């Protein structure tokens, strides 16, 4: 029951952080007040200051520090003698910002606060301070519970619903809904046809992409890959598409749109994420392996261009018997995106030169 209580406390803390409210992170006798840097306005800063003791600090990940001009491999901390929302926003988001004060190494509670931000799918930048009164009505959560949350979500993964969903090009399909894993929504296994689960099953790990999957965005190839995979599985012996809550390579839809705005200004997809403080890819796929096991799958033919997915399933103990490439449309709008995935993340993508360069 204690572990279940701690898990619920983290879920509540995620809701508080996303709502712009502070939480208290506990680690033995130590405690810090933490609030997301994004959306910190004068009112919230005043409320935070009333609950805090001593000087506050801004915790930034290494990726954002590099954007600010510091080559760091670890997160760092900037002192905030005054809670100035404009300064915090500048250090957190502005493209032309430079570091304006000494940066101290992050301590363990700082790292935990950044993990809470990532789990909440907000910008990875947190304002922390010592707590003036630990029982001031602010939600309390254990640092150990935050650190263990991702692994716990894999262990808690379970099927909560299933039903037939006829798809265009794959009319004999079933959706199996799992609770747990990554992100803030349920995961879905789309079982296409009647695959032999005891044999080698065609499988695709598909990260959710609202813009491409639903709206047909020309800036990526995600929707094409999703629909083509379903049709290929239906035309063959069937297969399974795992539709995973990994929007924006694990950053969430809001941060994905921030990155898209940067891409419109000339950044590639990875540089845009780094400017926001994210690593090149924040996704984990251990829970995808757990989904497959619950469906009775142990051997797969993986439909992917991404070697990380292959390695992740093998590390999780599944047998990847073969790989098969998945293709989408190449457009003028997604050429740079596809090139970045090939050149910077090792995706197996053949890119045709534009007609005027052929």
Note the pLDDT tens digit of each residue in 22-34: 999 999 989 999 9
Structure tokens at 281: 């890819």
What does the pLDDT read at residue 5? 84
Structure tokens at 273: 């994420």
Q: Are residues 238 and 322 in the same domain?
A: yes
Within-domain flag for 173: yes
- Of the pLDDT bands very low, low, confident and very high (cuts 50, 70, 90), residue 234 is very high
Q: Are residues 140 and 227 in the same domain?
A: no
SS (H, E, C) the chain: CHHHHHHHHHHHHHHHHHCCCCEEEEECCEEEEEEECCCCCHHHHHHHHHHEEEEEEEEECHHHHHHCCCCCCCCEEEEECCCCHHHHHHHHHCCCCCCCCCEEECCHHHHHHHHHHHHHCCCCCEEEEEECCCCCCCCEEEHHHHHCHHHHHHHCCEEEEEEECCECCECCEEEEEEECCCCCCCEEEEEECCCCCCCEEEEEEEECCHHHHHCCCCCCCHHHHHHHHHHHHHHCCCEEEEEECCHHHHCCHHHHHHHHHHHCCCCCHHHHHHHHCCCCCCCCCHHHHHHHHHCCCCEEEEECCCHHHHHHHHHCCCEEEEEECCCCCCCCCCHHHHHHHHHHHCCCCCCCCCHHHC
Q: Which domain holds residue 217?
A: 153-246+283-357
What does the pLDDT read at residue 133? 73
**278-304 average pLDDT score:** 97
pLDDT more than 70, % of the chain: 97
Computed over every residue of the chain, the mean pLDDT equals 94
**210-229 average pLDDT score:** 96
What does the pLDDT read at residue 137? 85
Q: Are residues 81 and 224 in the same domain?
A: no
Residue 140 belongs to domain with CATH number? 3.90.870.10
Active site residues per annotation:
281, 283
Q: Which long-range contacts (CB under 8 A, 24 or more apart) does 157-162 make?
A: 157/181, 157/187, 157/287, 157/290, 157/291, 157/294, 158/294, 159/294, 160/186
Q: Are residues 232 and 342 in the same domain?
A: yes
Where does residue 198 rank: exposed (0-12), middle (13-18), buried (19+ CB within 10 A)? exposed
pLDDT more than 90, % of the chain: 91
**66-75 average pLDDT score:** 96
What does the pLDDT read at residue 293? 98
- Number of domains composing the chain: 2
- Of the pLDDT bands very low, low, confident and very high (cuts 50, 70, 90), residue 357 is very low
Taking the C-alpha atoms of residue 156 and residue 148, their distance in angstroms, rounded to an integer, is 12
What does the pLDDT read at residue 120? 97
Q: Considering 106, 128, 147, which residue would you say is the last residue of a domain? A: 147
Q: Are residues 57 and 194 in the same domain?
A: no
In 3D, which of 321, 349, 336 has the Cα closest to residue 219? 336
**177-194 average pLDDT score:** 95
Taking the C-alpha atoms of residue 295 and residue 228, their distance in angstroms, rounded to an integer, is 23
Asked if pLDDT for residue 3 goes beyond 80, the answer is no
Asked if pLDDT for residue 1 goes beyond 70, the answer is no
Instruction: Return the number of other C-beta atoms located less than 10 Å from residue 144's C-beta.
Output: 13
What does the pLDDT read at residue 2? 63
Q: Are residues 196 and 301 in the same domain?
A: yes
Within-domain flag for 270: no
What does the pLDDT read at residue 358? 43
Taking the C-alpha atoms of residue 94 and residue 26, their distance in angstroms, rounded to an integer, is 31
Q: Are residues 61 and 178 in the same domain?
A: no
Asked if pLDDT for residue 208 goes beyond 90, the answer is yes
Q: Are residues 99 and 128 in the same domain?
A: yes
Q: Are residues 190 and 216 in the same domain?
A: yes
Q: Are residues 136 and 168 in the same domain?
A: no
What does the pLDDT read at residue 178? 98
Asked if pLDDT for residue 198 goes beyond 60, the answer is yes
Q: Are residues 214 and 74 in the same domain?
A: no
- Point out the least confidently predicted range of 50-54, 108-112, 131-135, 201-205: 131-135
The reported pTM is: 0.94
Asked if pLDDT for residue 356 goes beyond 80, the answer is no
CB 10 within 8 A of CB 112: no
Q: Considering 129, 147, 165, which residue would you say is the last residue of a domain? A: 147
Residue 235 belongs to domain with CATH number? 3.40.50.10990
**Greater pLDDT, 41 or 134:** 41
Q: Are residues 180 and 308 in the same domain?
A: yes
- Of the pLDDT bands very low, low, confident and very high (cuts 50, 70, 90), residue 354 is low
């Amino acid at each position: 029951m204690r572990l279940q209580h701690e898990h619920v406390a983290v879920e509540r803390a995620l809701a508080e952080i996303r709502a712009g409210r502070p939480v208290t992170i506990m680690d033995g006798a130590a405690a810090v007040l933490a609030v997301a840097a994004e959306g910190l306005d004068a009112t919230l800063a005043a409320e935070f200051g009333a609950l805090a003791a001593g000087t506050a600090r801004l915790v930034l990940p290494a990726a954002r520090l590099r954007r600010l001009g510091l080559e760091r491999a670890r997160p760092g901390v900037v002192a905030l003698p005054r809670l100035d929302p404009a300064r915090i926003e500048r250090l957190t988001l502005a493209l032309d910002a430079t570091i304006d004060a000494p940066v101290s190494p992050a301590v363990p509670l700082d790292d935990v606060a950044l993990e809470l931000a990532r789990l909440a799918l907000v910008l990875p930048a947190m304002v922390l301070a010592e707590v003036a009164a630990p029982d001031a009505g602010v939600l309390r959560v254990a640092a150990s519970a935050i650190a263990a949350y991702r692994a716990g979500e894999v262990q808690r993964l379970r099927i909560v619903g299933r039903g037939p969903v006829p798809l265009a090009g794959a009319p004999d399909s079933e959706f199996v809904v799992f609770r747990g894993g990554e992100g803030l929504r349920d995961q879905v296994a789309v079982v296409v046809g009647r695959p032999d689960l005891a044999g080698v099953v065609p499988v695709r790990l598909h990260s959710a992409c609202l813009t491409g999957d639903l709206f047909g965005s020309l800036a990526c190839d995600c929707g094409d890959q999703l629909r083509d995979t379903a049709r290929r599985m239906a035309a063959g012996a069937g297969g399974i598409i795992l539709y995973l809550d990994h929007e924006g390579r694990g950053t969430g839809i809001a941060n994905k749109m921030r990155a898209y705005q940067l891409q419109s200004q000339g950044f590639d997809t990875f540089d845009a994420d780094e400017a926001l403080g994210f690593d090149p890819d924040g996704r984990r796929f251990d829970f995808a392996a757990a989904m497959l096991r619950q469906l009775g799958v142990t051997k797969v033919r993986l439909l992917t261009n991404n070697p990380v997915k292959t390695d992740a399933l093998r590390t999780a103990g599944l047998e990847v018997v073969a790989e098969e490439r998945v293709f989408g449309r190449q457009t003028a709008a997604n050429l740079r995106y596809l090139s970045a995935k090939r050149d910077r993340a090792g995706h197996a993508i053949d890119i045709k030169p534009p007609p005027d360069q052929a």
